[in-house]
Structure 1
Amino acid sequence: MVVLFLTMTKLFCTEDAYNMRVVFLEDVEGVAHGGDVKEVKNGFARNYLIPKNLAVPANHNALQRVEKLSRQAGVTRIQLLSDLKELAQELDGRRVDVEMRAGSSGRLYGSVTNTIIADALSEMTASEIERRTVEIDEPIRDLGVYDLDIRLHPEVSASIQVVVYPIGTDPDDMIPSEEDEEAGEEATADVEEVVEAVAETTVETPTEEASDVDESDEADSDEGEEEESSDDEDAEESPEEQEEDN
């Protein structure tokens, strides 16, 4: 019995490890396009591709349909891309308001995930938005306004805004007013002016110090020349004084 069990286990493991050659009936993202003939893991083919009618074993009849399947998949691909572009236009610029419980510091009791955002977008557009299309590095854990991208296709994306606001308040209160934005821009401009002024002062100061040093050096040099001249005159007068003394 033990030998039979081990033999059957080895048989099933070996069978699952084998590859199966299949013809793809339609596009499978990241795997193949419709009409492609590829070898895939036996388990992947039997448990996923074939039951979902995404592929069939590459027998004689299936191989005869490859060219036709490729054309059909190409037409389907073009139509899908067109539909996704329309959906992206509908999504672009949308605002998703998410009401959450939060503490006084703005920290959420919980988090806003890509699933929550995708479900909200699906309700707004009456189209199924998959959570993996919501590009977010990690769940949102603080109140605020967040700009996110929705990647529907490698060639199609849309930008949305997510407003996470406290329960019992107006989400519009989280959006900065035009006056606040103008004040922020003015404050930024003032800071930039101060930075430029400090930079100019920093550049000019060494120049002035260098000028002062140069003037000091020139003064010291002039004094040195006067002293040398005085010494020379004393040296020239010494013989005459000696003659007068004689």
Structure 2
Amino acid sequence: MKVVFIEDVEGVAQGGQVKEVKPGFARNYLIPKNLAVPATHDSLQQLAKLQNQAEKGRTEKLNDMTAIGKRLDGLRLDIEMSSGPGGRLYGSVTTAIIATKLSELLGTTIDRRIIVMPESIRNIGSFTSKIKLHAEVIIDIEILVHPTDIDPEAFIQQLAAQELDPDEVTKVEIDTDISEIDDSVSEVDGESSENEDTELQDEEQAESKTDSDTVNIVDEIKS
């Protein structure tokens, strides 16, 4: 079925385009939502007008999404969740939960499909998610998932306290390496000392045996 698109439909067509689509897709989705109209003689005669309207709508949408993007830019979204040992959540933070929180914050409906996350969040902590408001407006927001019994700011301080200074980490690694070297040297010195003591004892025993043999020979000669 051939239709004229009134508005942009991502991945399908732009407003003002004439395109062949499946009849069911046109009748059940595009036409009821006023995204397209059948490509009749009258609609084709108004094609230039529809293209201008689509371009105007495209510009307005970009401006609206840019304004929302500015409000969200640098935003930290706090989400309170119950958690167990090790910070594992009882449940998970999904794109639907994030969309609901953003909608409440902005006072406008946010579609969960514009929230880009590789997978649901299953632990407490700080995370980053991309929000694709428009092909030209993609922003990052911070998502802080904190336990129900801890204030967000206090939880941030806890997270900061758990992070080690890179210089301190390097110092610990260096100290550990030096300690291991010292232990190795001590072991070698200990083994060398033991070997020297053993050799000295062997020499003393050999000398004692030689003296004893000499005395026995002298006694035999005298007798």
TM-score normalised by structure 2 residue count = 0.72
Q: Distance in 2 between matches of 1:131 and 1:190?
A: 45
1:178–1:55 CA distance, 2 compared to 1 (3 A): closer
Count of residues in correspondence between the two structures: 177
Q: Which amino acid aligns with 1:141?
A: R
For the residues of structure 1 that align with 2:118 and 2:135, how far apart are their CA atoms?
18
Residue 184 of structure 1 pairs with residue 158 of structure 2: no
Q: Please list, as runs of the form range in 1=range in 2, the aligned pairs for 1:209-220 lying within 5 A after superposition.
A: none
Does structure 1 retain, via aligned residues, the 8 Å contact 2:81–2:147? Answer: yes
Structure 1 unaligned residues grouped into runs of 5+:
1-19, 199-246
Q: 2:2 aligns with which of 4, 18, 21?
A: 21
Whether 1:84 aligns to 2:61 is: no
Change (3 A) 1:33 1:40: same
User: How far, CA to CA, are the matches of 2:119 and 2:18 in structure 1?
Assistant: 38
Aligned pair partner of 2:78 in 76, 97, 105: 97
Specify the code of the residue in structure 2 equivalent to 1:34: G
Give the corresponding residue for 2:135.
Answer: 154
Aligned to 2:216: none
Task: Note if 1:41 corresponds to 2:19.
Answer: no
The answer for the alignment partner of 1:211 in structure 2 is none
Q: How much has 1:169 moved relative to structure 2?
A: 1.5
User: 2:2, 2:39 within 8 Å by CA — same for their partners in 1?
Assistant: yes
Find the partner of 2:102 among 101, 121, 146. 121
Equivalent pair of 1:118/1:129 in contact (CA under 8 Å): yes
CA distance in 1, matches of 2:108, 2:140: 17
Q: Aligned residue for 2:91?
A: 110
RMSD over equivalenced CA pairs, Å:
2.4
The amino acid across from 1:116 in the alignment is: I
**Which amino acid in structure 1 is aligned with residue 50 of structure 2?**
L
Residue aligning to 2:152 = 171
Q: CA contact under 8 A between 2:125 and 2:159: conserved in structure 1?
A: no
Query: For 1:41 and 1:67, how far apart are their aligned partners in 2?
Result: 24
Match for 1:30: what amino acid? G
Which string of whole-angstrom CA distances, capped at 9 and with x for unpartnered residues, describes residues 95-130 of structure 1? Answer: 111111111221111000011111111111112211
Give unmatched runs, 5+ long, in structure 2.
Answer: 179-223
- Aligned positions of 1:125-136 closer than 5 A: 125-136=106-117
2:47 corresponds to 1:66:
yes
**Structure with more relative contact order (C-alpha pairs < 8 Å, separation 6 or more):** 2
The alignment-based identity, stated in percent, is 49
Shift of 1:182: 8.6
Contact 1:145–1:174 under 8 Å retained in 2: no
Q: Could you tell me how far apart the structure 2 residues matched to 1:179 and 1:54 are?
A: 49
CA separation in 1, counterparts of 2:160 and 2:125? 18
* 65 and 188 in structure 1: CA distance in 2 versus 1, 3 angstrom threshold: farther
CA–CA distance in 2 between the matches of 1:134 and 1:103?
A: 26
Change (3 A) 1:55 1:72: same
- TM-score normalised by L of structure 1: 0.66
Take 1:148 and 1:51, find their aligned partners in 2: how far apart are those partners?
A: 33
